[in-house]
A and B are shown apart, each in its own frame.
Chain A
C-alpha cells in the first residue's frame, strides 16, 4: 500500500526554525529531517513546547513575523517550499496542503455561516459559481458524516458542538484535495467519545484519498492508534523515529522510554504499579543545555552526553539520537510493586468510617428567563448539573469520579466545597451536616476540606511568592503566627519534592507541574481530611502527570487523608482511585471498587467511555457501536434513562419511559443503573483492555 521506494510526498531535511525573543534568535526546531510517503500518517509526539506546532507551521510557511527558517529544505512533491515567495505559497495552500488545527471553535470565523466558509474555498481557489460551490460544500459536509448537512451549512460556528466544528474544519481542509494534510492535535480538546469518532473518520478519509499526513499530538495512545511511523520530538530535536509497533515495543531513547513509563495504562493501579516520572523539566528558551539536550533529565547520562549525540540509523527504519541507546535498552522497565505494598487496603472497607457522605444532592443553576418566557408564564428553567447524587467517601480512601465534559463532575466538587449552593440533599462531613455557604462554614470545616484545581496556571496568585502562598493556610486555618508558618514552609516544599529555595520564587518562575505541586502543598498545608482534586493533571504533560499522581499517592499514604479525584481519563482515575463513580448528565450511572469496575458488565455508558479510549481493544461478542451524538443539554434532560438518547444497547421503549433500576450482584462491589440485567449485559459485553503496546 505504501511504497517506501517512491518519492516521499514530504521531505524535510535538516530543518532549523528560529524565533526571535527579546531581541535574540533561538532555535525552536533544530536539524529535523523526516519523510512522509503518500498515504502515510506520520505521527509526531512530544511534550508541550517541544516544537511540534512550530514544525507544522514551518512546513506551511506560516511562521509569525518573529519566526524564520534558519536552514534546511522542505520538499513537497519535489518543490522546495523554503525557496517560494509568499504569493506562491498562497497558491499551494489552496491546493496542495491543508491544516486541521487544534481549536476548532477559534479556527472558524465566528461571523460567517459554516457553509459559506467551505464554499469560499471552491469559489476562490477553484473558480466555481456560488451555487455550485454551495452544493459542493453540502457534499463535503456529508462526506465527513455530518447529519443534515443542508441545515449545518446555514449555521454559525458557535451553534455547533466541538466535534461538529472539527468535522467542518476537516471538510474544509479536504475540500481542496491536498496532497499533504497537517493535523495539529485535532482531537485534544474533545471528549474521549467524540475523539474516537473523529479519529475513525480521519483515518478512513486519509486512507481513501492517499494523502500524506503529519499527525501531531502529545498523546502516545493516539499515535499508536493512528500512525504507521512516528517521531519523538524533544526540545526541537527529533530524538527517535520508528515504526509504531517497534517504538512502543522497544523504545530506544531514554526520553521515549520515560514517556511510556510515566503513562498509567488502563488497569494499572497504585497498589501494584509505581509510575516512573521523568525528573526535571524540558528546557526552554534561554537555557538549552549543550551536548545532548536530554542530558539533565536522563537517568543514564554520563560525560559522553556532554557532546552532541549523533543520529544513529538502525535497521528497520529506526533512528535514534542518543550516545547510549544500547545501554538504555537494558535499563528500562517500570517498577512493579510487591503485592500488598500498602496496608491500608488490608483494612476492611466496612470498618472504615464514612468521612463525607452526600445524599440526594442536586445542584441546579437557574436560568434567567427571557422576557417572552416571563410574559408567557413559562416555568423557570435550570441547568440541572447534578441530580440526586448519593456518594460516600471513606476515610483514607480515594473516590474517583469520571464522566464526559459537562456531566457535572466539577459542580459536584464545588457544591461539596461550598462555592456553589446545592438545590437539594445533604452533605455531611464526619456526620455533621455542612452549611451551603462558604461564609457560614467554620474554619475547622474549611480546614478539613481543601482542594486542588485543574488549571495550575490559575491556581497560584502570580504576585505572591511561593513562600507567602504556603504560609497563608497555616495562618488562617491553623491560627499560627507568621513565624511559625514560615518555619514550616520548607517542610511543605520538601513534601511535594521541591527544593526549599523555591519559597522565594514567584509562580511565573515555575513550570506547570511545579505550580501544581505548590497548589497541592498549599491544599495539604493545614492537614485536611479530604482533598478534592478536580482534574489536577489534565493540563499537564504525561511526564509531569506521573509525578503529580505519585505525589498525591505519597501524601495520602503519609497523612491518611481521603481523596475525591476527578478526571475524564479512565486510566488515571483507575490508577489512583479505590472506588470509581461514573456519572452521566449529573446522575450516577455506575459505581464500583476499582478492581471491579474493569470487569464486565459495564453500564453501556461506561462501556462506551472505555472503548473510546485510544489504544484499547474490546474483546467483545458484539462490538459496541460508538456513541452517537453529543451529550444532551442538562436543561432538557431526556426522560426515562438519562442515557437512552445515545445508548448503543438500547432495549426499547422502556428505556425512554422508565427510570432504570440499580443492578448489582453478590461478590462484586459494582452497581449500575440500567434496564439490562447483570447476566444479560455480561453476555453481551467482553472485557476491555489496554493495548499491550509497551510491555515488551
Chain B
C-alpha cells in the first residue's frame, strides 16, 4: 500500500509538472503586450520598456519557465500584473471560497445521487427506476447557465416578489465571511452544481449496482439465505460504489475550478471567476497560478480517490507493494 501510494504520488508530480509546462506555454501564446495591459492604454513607450525589463520578459522562454517554476514552488507566486497585488493570498482566498462551494455541493449531491442511483439500480426496470432515469437524464440536459438563471428568477425574484424570504441572486461574499455567513450565498450555486453532478453520479451508481448484481458472488450471497438487505448493504454496495468514488473525486476537481459558468452567473468569487478575470486581462502570473492550483487540486483529488479506492478494494491493497 505504501509503495502504491508513493507510485501514485510520483505520477501526480509528473502530471503536475507536465501540466505546468502546458500552462506556461499556453499562457505565453496569449496575444497582447503584457506591459501595455498592465499600464493601461495611457502609458508611454519608455514606461513599457521599463516594465518589460522589470518582469524579465526579455529572457528566453525556457529560462522564464524555470524561473517561474522555481519561484512558484518556493511559495513566491509574485504579483498579479493587473491588480499589482500579491497573488498568493488572493488565490488562497478564492481557493477557500471554491472549496466551500465544492464541499457544500458534494454534501448535497453525493448522498442524494448515491441514494437515487442505488434505488434505481435495485429496482431496475420498475417505475422508480424509470422515473429516476428519466429525471436524471433530463437534468443532464439543462446547461448550468439555464438552471442558474431559472433558479435566480425563482428563488430570488419570485420569492421576493411574494414577500417571502428569498435567496441572494448574487453570491459574492465578503472576503472574511465565515461559512455560516456565506451559506445563503452558496445555496443557489451549490444547487446548480448539484443538478449537474446529480444525474451523473446517480447514473454511474445505478450502473455500478446493476453491474454488481449480475456478479456470481451476489448469487452466492443470496443462496446463503442472507436477508436481502444484508446482501445489498454488505455485498453489493461496497463493490458497486467503488467506481463512484473515483467520479466523486474527479467531480471535486471540477467543482474547484470548473464552475466558470456558475460562478459567472452568480458572480461567486471562486477560482473559476478569477481565472476568467486573469485571462481577460492577460494577467499571466495570475492565470498560471490559478491554473496550476487547479491542476494540483485536481491531481490531489485524483490521488485521494485512488488511495480510497485502493483502501476499499482489497485486490489492490493486498497485491501491490508486497
Contact = CB atoms under 8 A, between A and B. Distances in A.
A625 interface: no
A93 B225 contact: yes
A33 interface: no
Interface stretch (B41-49, B69-77, B135-143, B211-219): B211-219
A99 B222 CA distance: 11
A103 B224 contact: no
B313 A90 contact: no
> Max chain A CB contacts within 10 Å: which of B217, B238, B313?
B217
A93 B239 CA distance: 23
Contact of A109 (B125, B217, B319): B217
Contacts of B221: 109, 120
Contact of A125 (B219, B226, B238, B318): B226
Interface stretch (B58-66, B151-159, B227-235, B300-308): B227-235
A372 interface: yes
Contact of A110 (B222, B223, B314): B314
B216 A124 contact: no
Q: Could you tell me the dominant secondary structure of chain A's interface residues?
A: helix
A124 B217 contact: no
Contacts of B230: 120, 124
A65 B228 CA distance: 16
B202 to A, nearest CB: 22
Contacts of A98: 223-224
Interface residues of A, number: 34
A314 interface: no
B225 A124 contact: yes
A95 B223 CA distance: 10
A125 B216 contact: no
A159 to B, nearest CB: 6
B160 interface: no
B217 A176 contact: no
A584 B230 CA distance: 45
A372 B7 CA distance: 10
A125 B226 CA distance: 7
A120 B217 contact: no
Interface string A351-383: 000000000000000000011100000000000
A159 B217 contact: no
B69 to A, nearest CB: 24
Interface in B293-322: 312-315, 318-321
Contacts of B32: none
Nearest to B124: A65
Interface in A107-128: 107-112, 120-121, 124-125
Given A93-B224, A121-B224, A156 B314 contact: yes
Given A94-B225, A371-B6, A372-B321, A101 B315 contact: no
A95 B225 contact: yes
Given A109-B239, A370-B3, A120 B314 contact: no
B230 to A, nearest CB: 6
Interface in A151-170: 156, 158-159, 169
Contacts of A101: 216, 219-220
Contacts of A95: 225
B220 A107 contact: yes
B: interface residue count bin = 20 to 34
B321 A370 contact: yes
Given A101-B216, A112-B235, A125 B225 contact: yes
Contacts of B318: 156, 158-159
B321 A120 contact: no
B315 A110 contact: yes
A65 B214 CA distance: 11
A85 to B, nearest CB: 13
A62 interface: yes
Nearest to A155: B318
A10 interface: no
A505 interface: no
A106 interface: yes
A108 B223 CA distance: 12
Interface string A42-82: 00000000000000000010100100000000000000000
Contact of A93 (B217, B223, B235): B223
A101 B220 CA distance: 8
A176 to B, nearest CB: 7
Contacts of A112: 234-235, 238
B321 A93 contact: no
B275 to A, nearest CB: 35
Contacts of A196: none
A528 B223 CA distance: 52
Interface in B35-54: none
A90 to B, nearest CB: 6
A125 B315 contact: no
Contacts of A91: 225
B253 to A, nearest CB: 25
A176 B224 contact: yes
A526 interface: no
Nearest to A124: B226
> Max chain B CB contacts within 10 Å: which of A91, A120, A125, A372?
A120
Contact of B314 (A97, A158, A372): A158
A106 B215 contact: yes
Nearest to B4: A370
Closest 9 CB pairs of A and B: A94-B225, A156-B314, A93-B225, A370-B3, A107-B216, A106-B216, A109-B217, A125-B225, A107-B220
12 contacts: A90-B228, A93-B222, A94-B225, A97-B223, A99-B219, A101-B219, A109-B239, A110-B217, A120-B221, A120-B234, A124-B226, A156-B315
Interface of B: 2-3, 6-7, 10, 125, 215-217, 219-228, 230, 234-235, 238-239, 312-315, 318-321
